[in-house]
Structure 1
């Protein structure tokens, strides 16, 4: 199929854009490492026994989820730059599928998530984090879907609003409550009942819950089934909607 040839071309184009910005690459590597170095030690009193390994077993899955969520968030800014620089205008005359244009950026963001994640897992394993290869493989698959959702959503909002200020207002107003209500940094079991109840309307919450179970090497769990039951349909819906947005914007 032609689309299978188009997607790698747009992916390569997006990837080259990323490689030309080493500062952002360095930032992507350093941010999760700084969380582990500066935040994880504060959580020792929340674990029993209070050891670094026990903290990392609970903390690293949340950091990986936060990394997946953040890796796709910048897609909208890239799209707005392309609108302002005339790239989208030139793409209007190409016969390429608008789905291919969308997926080129989505797959780039998935790769931007995967590489730092593997580094985080490696460094954490040196500090005592228990590595369960099968569980982590399923976890990374789940988080790749999360990155694809966020990337497609952010990129589509960029095409809709066409303004960095408006996009930033929408993204930042949603990013904070979604992350806080997911238990990324601290398990929500430590919070009050009303907070745990509100969290159930947040798709990110189910991803975080499944991530901690999968990181322990448990594949067939209720948390994992629920997470995939939420994320897979959401991925299909968002990609379908984003493709329609791209078709309208790049018509």
Structure 2
């Protein structure tokens, strides 16, 4: 119970800080909105022979991929905030308090999850005028799956940040690894259009499973195997990443 209480305390504290900077939150939506408006319509033509017959169908294919891209890349940049807090001595000051180390890390991570979930909600609403239609139950499950995507990428970012302890090195690793992983997840174009060898490589990418699950939910296939398979893969991957980052964090700040 103490870990849950401490996690909630850190989460509310970090959320209040973020809420004082609405301009930053708004600016982070600029790129997703741009892709939503300018890229998604291309899929109507590109996938005309694969069941995409309207702009609504195109957005049902693209918005889930955009969610994964936001969760993956947005989460990977969370390590910068952790490094900044370490350099500013914020983490050191928290060490002398009764707050648990696990709660200190998870509270920060959940703030980023809430922020990206808010952005995903804005993206969903913005896509409605373009023809996107999704069942409310499917949407709730999709948001839950997206939370796992975000938490996974955040914990990976935290672990890398604790290992390299350098913003420049973190940026190089994010750019080097993040883009290939996102492309192998099919965030821009579904992997069904990719060569067979690319599809085989993507089987080792947990984010690709999440993208397939989200697309199944957005197209109304709640009972499709891709949904539970993607959820299971993300649960396992997320548990491993959370455990890894917590272990590193406890060791570094002990």
Question: Is the Cα–Cα contact under 8 Å of residues 71 and 110 in structure 1 kept in the other structure?
Answer: no
- Report the counterpart of residue 211 of structure 2 in structure 1: 208
Matched, 1:141 2:144: yes
TM-score of the pair, normalised by structure 2: 0.93
- Report the counterpart of residue 11 of structure 1 in structure 2: 11
Superposed counterparts of 1:137-216, under 5 Å: 137-216=140-219
- Report the counterpart of residue 103 of structure 1 in structure 2: 106
In 2, the alpha carbon distance for the partners of 1:22 and 1:70 equals 20
Shift of 1:54: 2.1
Deviations 1:130-173 (A, max 9, x none): 12111111111111011111112212222221110111122211
Matched, 1:223 2:219: no
Deviations 1:14-57 (A, max 9, x none): 21332333342012222221111111122221233653212112
Question: Is the Cα–Cα contact under 8 Å of residues 138 and 217 in structure 2 kept in the other structure?
Answer: yes
In 1, the alpha carbon distance for the partners of 2:160 and 2:230 equals 25
Question: Is the Cα–Cα contact under 8 Å of residues 77 and 174 in structure 2 kept in the other structure?
Answer: no
Ranges in structure 2 where 5+ consecutive residues have no aligned partner = none
In 1, the alpha carbon distance for the partners of 2:209 and 2:184 equals 10
What SS does structure 2 have at the residue aligned with 1:204?
helix
In 2, the alpha carbon distance for the partners of 1:192 and 1:7 equals 44
In 1, the alpha carbon distance for the partners of 2:155 and 2:141 equals 22
What SS does structure 1 have at the residue aligned with 2:76?
coil
Shift of 1:180: 0.7
Question: Is the Cα–Cα contact under 8 Å of residues 68 and 187 in structure 2 kept in the other structure?
Answer: yes
Ranges in structure 1 where 5+ consecutive residues have no aligned partner = none
TM-score of the pair, normalised by structure 1: 0.94
Shift of 1:117: 0.9
Matched, 1:69 2:72: yes
Question: Is the Cα–Cα contact under 8 Å of residues 75 and 105 in structure 1 kept in the other structure?
Answer: no
In 2, the alpha carbon distance for the partners of 1:179 and 1:145 equals 15
